[in-house]
Amino acid sequence: MFNDALPAMIRQLTVALLLAVTAAAASAKDAAQCGNILEAGKPAASRPAANTKLLCYRAYAVLYSPQTRTALWSAERLTAAAADAARTLPRDSDFYEEDRLPAGERAQRRDFVRSGYDRGHLAPSGDFGDKASQAESFSLANVVPQNSTSNRRTWSHIETSTRKLARQYGAIHVVTGPAFTNAARMLNGRVRIPDYLWKAIYVPGVGAAAYVVRNDATQAYSVISISELSRFTGIDPFPALAPTKRGVALDLPPPTPHPGEKAARRVAFARLVGNDKAGDAAESLGGLVQHAGALATLMLAYAR
């Protein structure tokens, strides 16, 4: 009986050893890829989330959270060559569930069915100059529930302007992520819906800044410094950035609208996040006072 069981045990041990060697090789390969992608430094979180997992792809990397079932950030090194090559590639990939994540922790395609939200890329396929990298960008680990108007207009315009920067400077570092600031809103009870989205850009030797948009139909955006972004989101996209460049926002170009579309307006960050209500109230009160003064003048004139 023991002799009969021995070959089976050997086969099981052999399979287990092969799997371990394969996993180790894959891990080493992922680490090398991430090292290239994250050469500007791995983004850091001031409020670390539990059980996050770093996922490396050919052209980008994400830090995935099983609590939100989204990435907390997606990082890429965007080059002019990749942006130019991507123009010639048709977008024919399909969204897929990330099988490197446990089934219960990953977003599923059915989560987005008739949800009213787009599957919004963090690292967009249009940044990648080969079919394999573009296909990998459709992992649901690189996706958040995004308002369709924002995704197809303001956010898409920001992506276009980001690629223009890459063409201007040759290569830039880009980190994109969601911001969760209000009570949790869940898609299909599973995937957390961001309140804002942001895209931080570092141009080596020049400076850095971040675009921020609301995750709704508001056709507006803000540009803020990396320090301000870190305070707002709890994510520092470029922790190795010199202090002199952290507090000063690089003058990022306006989002580039598609032909026939209206450009989004740039607004103060306080206004974008709704912290200017008191200012609006004061402005309204001032207007009422002015109108009251004008009415009083008219009444006096008629009284004469």
36 annotated to bind ligand: no
Kindly provide the residue ranges of all beta strands, DSSP E only, lying in 9-149, ordered along the sequence: 44-45, 53-56, 60-65, 70-79, 117-121, 143-147
Rounded Cα distance between 38 and 123, Å, is 14
Burial 272-299 (b: 16+ CB within 10 A, else e): bbeebeeeeeeeeeeeeeeeeeeeeeee
Rounded Cα distance between 164 and 161, Å, is 5
Question: Pick from 102, 104, 138: which is nearest to 122 by CA?
Answer: 138
Q: Strands 186-187 and 191-192, how do they pair?
A: antiparallel
Rounded Cα distance between 79 and 170, Å, is 6
Q: Which residues contact 223 (CB under 8 A, 6 or more apart)?
A: 209, 210, 211, 212, 249, 251, 252, 266
Q: Please give the positions annotated as active site.
A: 121
Q: Is the dihedral of CA 187, 65, 78, 231 positive or negative?
A: positive
Q: CB neighbours (10 Å) of residue 202?
A: 24
| Residues in binding site for Mg(2+) | 151
| Residues in binding site | 151
